[in-house]
Homo-oligomer: A and B are copies of this chain.
Amino acid sequence: MIKIFVIGKPKTKFIKMGIEQYLKWNSKYDRVELVELPLSNDLNKITEEEYKKQDKEKFDKYFLPNVFKVVLDERGKELSSIDFANKIEKWRIGKKNISFFIGGPLGHHEEIRKNADFLLSISKMTFTHEMAVLLLLEQIYRAFKINNNEKYHY
Contacts and interface: CB of A to CB of B under 8 A. Distances in A.
Contacts of A97: none
Interface in A119-134: 122-129, 131
Interface residues of A, number: 29
Given A105-B154, A131-B138, A84 B125 contact: yes
B81 A126 contact: yes
B123 A142 contact: no
Interface in A133-154: 135, 138-139, 142, 153-154
Interface stretch (A15-23, A55-63, A108-116): A15-23
Nearest to A21: B14
Contacts of A17: 13-14, 17
